[in-house]
Amino acid sequence: MPAPECLRKRRAPAAAASLGHVDLILATSVFTHLVETWSAWLVELHRLLGEEGLLAVTFKNRGSFEGPARAAWHEDWDEDQIGMHVYGAGLGWDKGGPAVYQSQWWLRAHWGRAFEFLHLEPESVGQGIAVMRKRPGHFEPEDLEALEPGEPREIAGLRYSLRHARRESA
C-alpha cells in the first residue's frame, strides 16, 4: 500500500497533479463555512477523485444549530423550511466567520448530482457527516447550484434564508 499523499488546504480550488487519482478526501469543517465557493470546491474535489473515489465531508445541521438558535429573532430548525442557510454572512474570520447549515434533502438534491450518498448522519460529534462516492460525469459549479426541479422546499428554504438575512442585518 502506498503512503498517503496529503494535499494542503487552499483558499480557492486549484488544479492538482493527481487529478482523477485520489481515493479518499476528508473535508472537516470546510463546507460549514463556504458561502459562495462551496460548489466550485465540490467540483474540484470531484475532479481529484478516482473513479471509485470517496469523499467524507462534515456539515452543519440541526445538531449544530445552537448558534443561530440563540438569536432572539431566529426560528427553530425545520428540515422542510431550510435548504442551505447562512448565519453570520458578514462575520470576519477573527470572529469565527460565517456558518453554513444544510438540510439533508438539500444535500441530497445538490451534492447528490455529483456524488452518490453512501452514509448521511445529520448529528455526529457537533457536526453531521456525509460519505459519498464520485458519480461519473463532468460537472460545473452551476450544475450543483441550480434549483431542484419540482422541489417546493427550494423556495421555502430561500424564503427562510432571506427572512433571516433581513433580521440579522437589522
More confident residue, 127 or 55: 55
Domain ranges of the chain: 23-169
Q: Cα–chain-centroid distance for residue 72?
A: 26
| Per-residue model confidence (pLDDT) at position 10 | 58
Report, as an integer, the average pLDDT of 16-40: 88
Q: Say how far residue 20 (Cα) sits from the centre of its chain.
A: 21
Beta-carbon contacts of 106 under 8 Å, excluding residues fewer than 6 positions away, are 82, 83, 84, 153, 157
pLDDT at residue 38 tops 90: yes
- Predicted pLDDT at 20: 79
Query: Poorest-confidence range of 5-9, 73-77, 130-134?
Result: 5-9
Average pLDDT over residues 107-128: 92
Give the residue with greater pLDDT, 73 vs 148.
Answer: 148
CATH number 2.40.50.140 given to 23-169? no
Q: Is the pLDDT of residue 59 over 80?
A: yes
Task: Report residue 3's pLDDT band, with 50, 70 and 90 as the boundaries.
Answer: low
Q: Looking at residue 71, what is its pLDDT? A: 66
Q: Which three cell numbers stand for residue 123?
A: 448529528
What is the reported pLDDT for 26?
95
Contact partners, residue 32, CB within 8 Å, separation at least 6: 58, 59, 60, 64, 99, 100, 127
Indicate the pTM of the whole model: 0.85
All 3 cell numbers of residue 60? 452543519
Mean pLDDT: which of 57-61, 63-67, 105-109 is highest? 105-109
